[in-house]
Each structure stands twice: as C-alpha cells, then as structure tokens.
C-alpha cells in the first residue's frame, strides 16, 4: 500500500515537472524575440550569447520535459531539469539581491517582472527543484 502511494506521488511529480517544462517552452518557442529580451533583462549574459540561448533553451526544456514523461533517459532529463531550475533560482535570486528589476515600460512587452512576481517565481522554482531532487533520488540508475 505504501509503495502504491509512493508510486502515485512519484508519477505526479514526474508529470508536474514534465508538463511545467513543456508548457514553459511553448511561449518561448512561439516568441523567441521576447524571450531574448527577457534574457537581456537579467543583465547577466554576454550580448553575443543572448540570441543563442533564446533559440536553444526552450528546445532543451521541451525535449527534457517529454523525455521525463516518456521515460526516455529519465534520470538524464531530470538532471537537465534540475540544473535549469538551479540556474533559474540563482539568476532570480541574484537579481533580487542586487535590486535589479527590468521594466522596459512597453505595451508589447507583457512579461514585466516585479519583485513580487520574482519572489513567486523563486518559491515555485525552489519547490520544483526539491521535487526534482527527490524524484532523481527515487529514480534508480539501471
């Protein structure tokens, strides 16, 4: 019985992480220019790398999400997902600490971050990362 519950919990975590990453990649793939501007807004990455990151990150997220759900290299997919979550947490945390907020004041630019939404993102990513680490521990390397 206990194993059944554990199985359900692990399945839910797997689905949550996978779907979150697939969903997150969708808007970025649909509008890479806007995603590039968000990356620029973090003011962390070199200018030459911004577009390359905007092009590639969403597809790595998408494929890692599908790979986790479908069980193709699930541990590798989890390692990628956890790695991304850790990077997101560090980036958001770093910008919160130095008080950097990016607001271009544009009508077309809908993702206008504010401290509150950044804190929400930070908490969400932290919870996802904890779940991801737990799932990784429970996913045996065969």
Partner 1 sequence: MTQKDIKGILFLFLFALPTAFFFNWFSPFGIALVGQWEISKGTVNAISKTDSVNSLIEINNPEIIKQIVQKKEKIIIDVRSRDYYDQGHLPSALSFPLIDFDDYIHQLLNSINRQSAILVYCASFECTDSHIFADRLKDLNFNDVKVFSGGFRQWQEMGFEIEKNEK
H helix runs in 31-114, sequence order: 32-42, 47-70, 74-97
Residue 83 CB, shortest distance to partner 1, in Å, is: 9
Is the Cβ of residue 2 or residue 137 nearer to partner 1 in the bound state?
A: 137
Residue 105 CB, shortest distance to partner 1, in Å, is: 3
Give CA–CA dist 127/24, Å, rounded: 16
Is the Cβ of residue 10 or residue 53 nearer to partner 1 in the bound state?
A: 53
Is the Cβ of residue 24 or residue 79 nearer to partner 1 in the bound state?
A: 79
Is the Cβ of residue 38 or residue 121 nearer to partner 1 in the bound state?
A: 38
Residue 19 CB, shortest distance to partner 1, in Å, is: 17
Is the Cβ of residue 66 or residue 124 nearer to partner 1 in the bound state?
A: 66
Residue 5 CB, shortest distance to partner 1, in Å, is: 27
Q: Is residue 79 exposed (0-12), middle (13-18) or buried (19+ Cβ within 10 Å)?
A: middle
Using alpha carbons, list the distances in angstroms from residue 24 to 35, 75, 138.
Answer: 11, 20, 25
Using alpha carbons, list the distances in angstroms from residue 31 to 70, 113, 118.
Answer: 26, 17, 21
Residue 134 CB, shortest distance to partner 1, in Å, is: 17
Give CA–CA dist 124/72, Å, rounded: 26
41 in the Ramachandran plot: left (φ > 0), alpha (ψ -120 to 50) or beta? alpha
- Contact set with partner 1 (CB under 8 A): 29-33, 36-37, 40-41, 47-48, 50-52, 54-56, 58-60, 62-64, 67, 73, 75-77, 79-80, 102, 104-109, 141-142
């Amino acid at each position: 019985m206990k194993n059944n519950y554990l199985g359900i919990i692990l399945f839910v975590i797997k689905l949550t992480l996978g779907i979150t990453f697939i969903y997150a990649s969708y808007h970025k793939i649909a509008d890479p220019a806007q995603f590039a501007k968000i990356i620029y807004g973090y003011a962390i990455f070199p200018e030459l790398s911004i577009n390359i990151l905007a092009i590639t990150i969403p597809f790595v997220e998408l494929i890692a999400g599908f790979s986790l759900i479908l069980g193709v290299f699930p541990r590798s997919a989890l390692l990628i997902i956890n790695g991304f979550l850790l990077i997101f947490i560090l980036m958001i945390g770093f910008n919160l600490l130095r008080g950097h907020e990016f607001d271009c004041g544009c009508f077309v630019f809908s993702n206008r971050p504010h401290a509150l939404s950044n804190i929400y993102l930070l908490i969400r990513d932290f919870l996802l990362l904890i779940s991801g680490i737990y799932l990784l521990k429970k996913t045996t390397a065969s």
